[in-house]
Structure formats: C-alpha cells, structure tokens
Amino acid sequence: MGRPVRGADPGDEGVRVIFTELELPGAFLLDVETYEDHRGFFARSWCRREFDEHGLDARVEQSSISYNRLLGTLRGMHFQVAPAAETKLVRCTRGAIHDVIIDLRPGSPTYLQHVAAELTTENRRALYIPEGFAHGFQTLTDDAEVLYQMTTEYSPGHARGVRWNDPAFGIEWPIADPVILQRDARYADFSEAVLV
C-alpha cells in the first residue's frame, strides 16, 4: 500500500486575501483564497502588504474573542470616539453571525446607512470596519465565537453606542427577540446619542 503523495505547499505567495469593497466606502468584506489538497487547505487570512495596497489600516494593537452561548445573542451597536477611534477586523471562528455596520461619519455620502454580512465558520469571511462606524452582530447559532483585531486598545472612556433597533437605521435583524445586555438595549435614540 503506497503513501499518499504530499501536495506542494503554496508558501506565502501561493494564496492571497480577496478584498471586496462594500456599499459603504472604506468597509471591506475579506475572503480567503484556499490552496487545497488531500490534507485539507491552506489560506492566508491577513497580510500587512495586501492591506497597505488597498489603503487599509493594518495595525493590530489588540485582539479579542467574543463567545456567545445562545442563538439570537445581539451585541452592539458599538464604536469608540477620538482619540481612541478604532478600526476592526471581525471574523466568526465558530458558528455563524449576522454582522452589521453603520456609517456614522458626518459628511460621508453614506452617512447613517448600514450593511450586513453573514460571517460563518464555513465561509471564513471577515469584515473590515473603518473608524467612524458602529458595529454589532447577532448570533445565528448557539456557541458562536467571534474574533476581533483592533487598531486601538479598548478605552472605556471613549466607548459609545447607538441602539440596535433605532428606526433611524432601519436594520432588519434575523431574530426579533434578542438576548441582549441591558446597556445595549438602553442606548439613546440616534438623535440624542453622544457621538464625541
């Protein structure tokens, strides 16, 4: 009985990150290009050079994991203000989430608009969220785990939020009655929110 023939490893130059800009300028959906063989696959999930080529902030100052026990858990909508404004790269490493971002940049042509993306273990997608965006997600499975990479450390004094179901944004969440922290549920209407 012969041994399986090992596939040639692609090395760092054999695969790349695939960047797709979303309807909100500066926000990107990232897909991995996989190299597959009998062992499984290899994929690059982050590359400073490729981020630089797309004009994106590639700094990583902090990384965090969010574990969510129950389907329907909603976290958001969160952001930080200057001088601790942050860019985030978010990926679902277990289960599935409905990820949402809102453009809160005054003067932006897409001000107050939002986009959503499904991030799952299977699709291995990530969402690049620039400064000036609020971010939140709702879990589509039990035991969902989310990995964050951020350009700035968490700063409680600069942390802000807007309400997940504020009519100003018109977000349609997949599960109507979420499991949510009271702080997130009680954020003020956008018209009264503190954005500085």
Domain 17-192: CATH superfamily, name plus number: Jelly Rolls (2.60.120.10)
Q: Which of 30, 49, 58 shows the shortest CA–CA distance to 150?
A: 58
38 is catalytic: no
CA 169 to chain centroid, in Å, comes to 18
pLDDT of residue 174: 98
Among 98, 114, 148, 187, the active-site one is: 148
> What is the domain partition of the chain in residue ranges?
17-192
Whether residue 147 contacts residue 93, with contact meaning beta carbons closer than 8 Å, is answered with yes
Among 54, 78, 128, 187, the active-site one is: 78
Q: Which of 113, 101, 100 shows the shortest CA–CA distance to 168?
A: 113
pLDDT averages per 10-residue partition of the chain, 196 residues:
38 77 98 92 92 95 98 97 97 98 97 98 97 98 98 96 95 97 93 74
pTM of the predicted structure, to 2 decimals: 0.90
pLDDT of residue 82: 96
pLDDT of residue 196: 65
Judge residue 158's burial from the number of C-beta atoms within 10 Å of its C-beta, 0-12 exposed, 13-18 middle, 19 or more buried.
Answer: middle
114 is catalytic: no
pLDDT of residue 109: 97
